[in-house]
Amino acid sequence: MQLTETAPPTILPPPGSRPQFDAKSVRRFALRYSLVIILGLFLVTLALSNRSFMTVSNMNVILIQVAANALLATGATFVILTGGIDLSVGSVVGLSGVVAALFAQNDGAMTCAEAVVLGVLAGAAIGAFNGALVAFAKVPPFVATLGNMTVASGLAFVFSEGQPISGLSDQFLGLSGTLGGFSIPVAVSIVVVVLSWIVLARTKFGMHVYAVGGNPHAARVAGVGLRGIRFTVYTIAGAMAGVAGVLLAARATAGIASTGTGYELNAIAAAVIGGISLAGGRGSMLGTVFGFLIIGVLDNGLNIINVSPFYQLIVKGLIIIGAVFVDSLTHRTDD
């Protein structure tokens, strides 16, 4: 009996397994990568509108301008992920800058390092006060942080007596300079963002932050300390605002109480544009990075092409609304 070799049967994939490039898949792709698409469109449009936009010097300017908001947006990410909100960080920026400047004057007894630490601690103290009100006194986050926004602003004006605090030491002013050819504020913001990403994505604490915002009842049943997590995230946000305040005081060569006015809105906007859900429990640090980069590119580009600041506010507001709408659509699609 002669054996004959036969070819293996051809196995065709079931009809439903082939990639489908229909409207639904395209929509899902566009929603998933909307931040990258938006940032890319901004860059292309602004580069075509003005040749100076894509120069190396202007990119450095954008990074320096974005550094403070990167710190604030990172702190806002921690808070919003738990379902909270922090409206006080703008005032905390001014207060921290004033406190640091008071101790960084040439005729003062404090060193630059001590002045920096005291400025950051001032921010952390307001953040801890916010956290205590929200976590232990059960004060709604909006009310607690709105009240402390006024308190921090008042303290900044009291400490500075309504005047810029100048005459700062060269060491302190050097915080706005470069180290090894790299901008110190940019380097600090990168380190903070990377560490925050590691904490949120790779640690037990980060998992608890998401759990508190996603389902507080289930988190409590699982043994997560809701009060401790909420207290900690507000303290982190205050400390990051303190760092931003110190760096901005060095950049402005003076501690000015009103420095951080309106910064809280940019911080919240960056987080929301980056996909951090205001309901809590959803979003990532990478999204926040795209969020504050989009705001930085937009602010810089609109200034370069001489768009009125009033129209810039309108554009930024519409982008925030659009970001929340996209987040809603994405969540609906996932469901």
Q: How confident is the model at residue 320 (pLDDT cuts 50, 70, 90)?
A: confident
Phi, psi of 183 (to 5 degrees): -60, 130
Residue 317 located in a structural domain: no
Residue 100 located in a structural domain: yes
pTM: 0.87
- Of 39-43, 78-82, 89-93, the one with minimum mean pLDDT is 39-43
Instruction: Name every residue whose Cβ is closer than 8 Å to that of residue 225 and which is 6 or more positions away in sequence.
Output: 208
Asked whether the predicted pLDDT for residue 127 surpasses 50, the reply is yes
Section 27-33 average pLDDT: 67
Residue 177 located in a structural domain: yes
- Into how many domains does the chain fold? 1
Contact 183, 57 (CB under 8 A): no
Tokens (6 digits) for 192: 């903070």
How many Å apart are CA 239 and CA 157, to the nearest integer? 20
Note the pLDDT of residue 233. Answer: 98
- Domain membership of residue 152 as a residue range: 63-261+276-283
Residue 320 located in a structural domain: no
Contact 98, 160 (CB under 8 A): yes
Residue 295 located in a structural domain: no
User: Which one of 4-13, 180-189, 301-310, 317-326 scores highest in mean pLDDT?
Assistant: 180-189
Beta bridge pairs of residue 165: 255
Residue 302 located in a structural domain: no
Share of the chain above pLDDT 90, in %: 59
Note the pLDDT of residue 248. Answer: 97
How many Å apart are CA 124 and CA 136, to the nearest integer? 17
- Of 21-25, 92-96, 124-128, the one with minimum mean pLDDT is 21-25
Asked whether the predicted pLDDT for residue 3 surpasses 50, the reply is no
Over the stretch 229-243, which tens digit does the pLDDT of each residue have? 999 999 999 999 999
Cβ neighbours of 121 (radius 10 Å): 16
Mean pLDDT, the chain, rounded, equals 87
Over the stretch 155-207, which tens digit does the pLDDT of each residue have? 999 999 999 999 999 999 999 999 888 899 999 999 999 999 999 999 999 99
Higher pLDDT, 56 or 193: 193
Asked whether the predicted pLDDT for residue 4 surpasses 60, the reply is no
**Which of 71, 92, 73 is CA-nearest to residue 258?**
92
Higher pLDDT, 14 or 213: 213
Section 59-64 average pLDDT: 91
Note the pLDDT of residue 246. Answer: 97
Residue 53 located in a structural domain: no
Residue 123 located in a structural domain: yes
